[in-house]
């Protein structure tokens, strides 16, 4: 999947990024707190499932309560533009990999 299909941060934009190419039962779930890095909630970014298995993710705008799980099939991604994100919780379904970039 080409990242060209997603918005990209402009140069010198503070970003939060995380990836794991061997995401499985041992490392799941993982909660990624973008607010700690950015100093505020993210309002733009993307999540990509770059593996062969499925995963789910949940978004929190306050760092404690999370929305319903969203399925992310292999080799697909979601644009997170316009969503206030403090944290993302990613849960393993089948061994896979992911990339998250927020700004």
pLDDT at position 13 = 75
Backbone angles phi, psi at 23, to 5 degrees: -75, 120
DSSP state of 9: P
- What average pLDDT does the structure give for the chain? 91
**Cα gap 86→12, rounded to integer Å:** 21
Parse the chain into domains and list their residue ranges.
Answer: 3-102
In this structure, the number of other CB atoms found within 10 A of the CB of residue 23 comes to 25
The tens digit of pLDDT for each residue in 8-22 reads 656 557 899 999 999
Does pTM surpass 0.85?
A: yes
Share of the chain above pLDDT 70, in %: 88
Angle at 88 between CA 82 and CA 93, to 5 degrees: 120
The tens digit of pLDDT for each residue in 43-78 reads 999 999 999 999 999 999 999 999 999 999 999 999
Nearest alpha-carbon partner for 66 in 18, 36, 33: 33
Q: Has residue 27 got a pLDDT over 70?
A: yes
Buried b / exposed e over 50-87, threshold 16 CB at 10 Å, is bbeebbbbbbbbeeeebeeeeebeeeebeebeebebbb
pLDDT at position 93 = 94
In the CATH hierarchy, which fold is given to the domain comprising 3-102? Jelly Rolls (2.60.120)
């Amino acid at each position: 999947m080409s990242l060209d299909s997603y918005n990209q941060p402009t140069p010198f934009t503070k970003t939060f990024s995380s990836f794991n190419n061997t995401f499985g039962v041992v490392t799941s779930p993982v909660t990624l707190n973008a607010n700690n890095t950015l100093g505020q909630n993210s309002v733009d970014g993307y999540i990509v499932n770059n593996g062969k298995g499925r995963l789910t993710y949940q978004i929190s705008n306050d760092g404690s309560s999370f929305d319903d799980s969203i399925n992310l099939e292999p080799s697909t991604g979601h644009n997170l533009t316009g969503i206030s994100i403090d944290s993302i919780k990613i849960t393993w379904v089948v061994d896979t990999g992911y990339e998250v970039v927020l700004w």
